Amino acid sequence: MGQIISIDYGKVRSGIAATDDMQIIASGVDTIQTNFLLEFLNQYFSQNKVDGAVVGLPVDLKGNISDVEEDILKFIEEFEKKFPNIPVYRLDERFTSKIASFFISQSGKNKKQRQEKGLIDKVSATILLQNFLEKRIR
């Protein structure tokens, strides 16, 4: 069994998280400049067995899809061409950034560390992936 990764896609930065090989727990991997995302994933996949990728679906409180979805769909199209054997799953990412900010604020990090947007992206990807794992079990 291989890992499942998640991508909290953003126009500038994207957070990456991955499961363990048993697909039980999600952990943050890194935050990558989005223009280097496919390059990073290519290297990551060459070093790790990956069985699937979860990409956040940006939905607002009213259920409307965010403008970034157009960029995400282009990314997914490129991803599927480059990695045709890795299925892509979508999951509502509503509240992941707010939850990530809350957890970071409770972690004892100083103010500068709490405001680091890259950390929020990585934690958001971790929350997204853990939510995916929990929904898959039910």
- Measured CA to CA, the distance from residue 100 to residue 104 in angstroms comes to 6
pLDDT in tens, 45-95: 999 999 999 998 887 767 788 788 999 999 999 999 999 999 999 987 755
Q: What is the domain range of residue 34?
A: 3-137
Question: pTM of the full predicted structure?
Answer: 0.82
Buried b (16+ CB within 10 A) or exposed e, 11-25: eebbbbbbbeeebee
Q: What is the CATH number of the domain that holds 57?
A: 3.30.420.140
Number of structural domains (the chain) is 1
